[in-house]
A and B are shown apart, each in its own frame.
Chain A
Amino acid sequence: GAVVSQHPSRVICKSGTSVKIECRSLDFQATTMFWYRQFPKKSLMLMATSNEGSKATYEQGVEKDKFLINHASLTLSTLTVTSAHPEDSSFYICSAGYREYEQFFGPGTRLTVL
């Protein structure tokens, strides 16, 4: 089956620093990758849709200068949380589009900002 990896799985950083999260499709090419954020006891919130070679499409209310997304190749998308603050602490999950209707999820990254 299609495998998506995320790195790191867990990161703790100081307030004001930037954190980069990588999402890779290991055995298939994904022209579209999605970045989600999950708050405790809440549904997954789509942050942005990332298409290879073009700018990401951000959902309403998501700051594009805060959450930088780069989709440099068909197997790699990165999310950089810039100048992180404690309220950015969350579980970030990426998914890669496999077929028209199917997405495969990465294992998620737990970000804690002190």
Chain B
Amino acid sequence: GQNIDQPTEMTATEGAIVQINCTYQTSGFNGLFWYQQHAGEAPTFLSYNVLDGLEEKGRFSSFLSRSKGYSYLLLKELQMKDSASYLCAGMDSNYQLIWGAGTKLIIKP
């Protein structure tokens, strides 16, 4: 079956770094996505990885290991506005997104 696993909740301190892990099992693989979702809003795109390695975009970086079925999202220099849910989604061979339940990130001052 297809499955995406990520932690339910994480807490971090403003200014610090946090890594959110995601493991995936999909029927075929056409990439791994990370989205940010604030309460009551639709998800917004953060990153897309289809090749192994680390992709950096400002304060956010995303890593993929296809052999391990593993990805992480790294957030640096955390700000209070980064408090949100972070959704990991794998794209299967039919180009459909398989979603994780999301990781609620709580940032404390």
Contact = CB atoms under 8 A, between A and B. Distances in A.
B70 interface: no
B74 to A, nearest CB: 21
A101 B50 contact: yes
B60 interface: no
B42 A108 contact: yes
Given A43-B102, A49-B96, A101 B31 contact: yes
Given A107-B41, A108-B41, A108-B42, A41 B101 contact: yes
Contacts of B50: 101
19 contacts: A34-B97, A41-B101, A41-B102, A43-B100, A44-B43, A44-B87, A45-B99, A49-B96, A91-B40, A93-B42, A97-B95, A100-B30, A101-B30, A101-B91, A101-B95, A102-B48, A104-B45, A105-B42, A105-B43
